[in-house]
């Protein structure tokens, strides 16, 4: 059963009316074609009205939509079932919040790495809600080095509320693991493309977020802190999260204007959660184009340009 956010309620009401009209037509043998067409036109108009005027907070809500596809759904769809997951950091354990392995994009072998959330309560606990421990980031780096060894491009899919903040994570060097990844990703000799597909929060996102090209899905967000935590720090309450979301400039449009990301990947009008096959096909097409373009560049030059790209961020004249 589909889940609707508060601002999607008008869409839900119209969809229910359409279903009732179809059922009535089938049960009573009445011609409901004109009524259904009228309702479908209203639905299309209302959907466009809502999704073309989203606030920053509404985009944050969409990025967390329970029906929104997660990393493994994107990977499985784009690789047509060729994905081979690899496990473990060769030191502590296999972090289930971070997944990675080789898969093929229409014959091109690619290393995919990303945070994985769970689709239900049990899986969310299993995946630690997409919050990786240090061993998750160390596993990611191991896989990146493996891809570099075999000269395969890397695609990272970012979707996390942040790195796991527990005491045990700090004891095992959470900050060092993220910092090491940032340092090592700057120097990788293979093409690296990073895509924010949902939540891109703080160092948890940056730990796999250094690349030649940084992309964001239209209804994702990217920020040093979540709106709720920002509101808590500034106002001692979550009540101002909408104000915080506006002030943080965390939407894909804001990130593009600030030159933090290179491209915004358009989602279907009703969002990635409503038309998953469409967003899978769109992202696959974009990734193939970016990999082809980056693969033509000299490895040393590509790495140098990546470093320059990040050095320019945050610099004002």
Torsions phi, psi of 187, nearest 5? -100, 0
- How confident is the model at residue 287, as a pLDDT? 98
Instruction: Give the position of tokens 């808590």.
Output: 232
Torsions phi, psi of 68, nearest 5? -70, 135
Tally Cβ neighbours within 10 Å of residue 279: 26
- How confident is the model at residue 316, as a pLDDT? 66
pLDDT tier, 317 (very low <50, low <70, confident <90, very high otherwise): low
Separation CA 192–CA 144 (nearest Å): 9
What proportions of the chain, in percent to the nearest 5, are helix, strand and coil? 50, 15, 35
pLDDT tier, 116 (very low <50, low <70, confident <90, very high otherwise): very high
Cross-strand bridge partners of residue 28: none
pLDDT tens across 204-216, in order?
Answer: 999 999 999 999 9
Locate all alpha helices (DSSP H) within 79-131, ordered by sequence.
121-126
Please check the confidence at residue 119 and state whether its pLDDT lies above 70: yes
pLDDT tens across 15-42, in order?
Answer: 999 999 888 888 887 887 888 889 999 9
> For residue 128, which of 87, 169, 88 has the smallest C-alpha distance?
169
pLDDT tens across 211-254, in order?
Answer: 999 999 999 999 999 999 999 999 999 999 999 999 999 999 99
Average pLDDT over the chain, rounded to an integer: 95
> For residue 271, which of 222, 218, 221 has the smallest C-alpha distance?
218
Tally Cβ neighbours within 10 Å of residue 81: 8
Is the Cα dihedral 216, 181, 112, 65 positive or negative?
Answer: negative
* Angle in degrees, CA 298, 89, 158, rounded to 5: 60
């Amino acid at each position: 059963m589909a889940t609707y956010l508060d601002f999607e309620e008008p869409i839900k009401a119209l969809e229910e009316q359409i279903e009732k009209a179809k059922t009535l037509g089938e049960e009573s043998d009445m011609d409901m074609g004109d009524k259904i067409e009228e309702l479908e036109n209203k639905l299309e108009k209302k959907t466009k009205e809502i999704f073309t005027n989203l606030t920053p907070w509404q985009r944050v809500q969409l990025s967390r939509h329970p029906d929104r596809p997660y990393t493994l759904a994107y990977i499985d769809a784009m690789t047509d079932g060729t994905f081979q997951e690899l496990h473990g950091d060769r030191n502590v354990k296999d972090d289930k919040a971070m997944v990675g392995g080789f898969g093929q994009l229409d014959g091109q072998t690619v290393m995919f790495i990303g945070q994985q959330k769970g689709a239900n309560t049990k899986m969310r606990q299993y995946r630690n809600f997409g919050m990786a421990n240090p061993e998750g980031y160390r596993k990611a780096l191991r896989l990146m080095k493996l891809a570099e060894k075999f000269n395969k491009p890397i695609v990272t899919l970012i979707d996390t509320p942040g790195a796991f903040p527990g005491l045990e994570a700090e004891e095992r060097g959470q900050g060092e693991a993220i910092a090491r990844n940032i340092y090592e990703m700057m120097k990788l000799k293979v093409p690296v493309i990073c895509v924010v597909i949902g939540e891109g929060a703080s160092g948890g996102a940056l730990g796999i977020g250094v690349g030649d090209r940084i992309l964001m899905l239209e209804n994702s967000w990217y920020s040093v802190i979540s709106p709720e935590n920002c509101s808590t720090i500034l106002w001692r309450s979550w009540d101002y999260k909408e104000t915080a979301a506006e002030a943080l400039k965390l939407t894909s449009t804001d990130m593009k204007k600030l030159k933090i990301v290179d491209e915004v990947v358009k989602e279907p009008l009703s969002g990635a959660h409503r038309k998953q096959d469409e967003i899978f096909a769109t992202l696959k097409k974009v990734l193939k184009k970016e990999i082809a373009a980056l693969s033509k560049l000299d490895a040393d030059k590509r790495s140098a340009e990546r470093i320059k790209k990040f050095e320019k961020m945050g610099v004002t004249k």
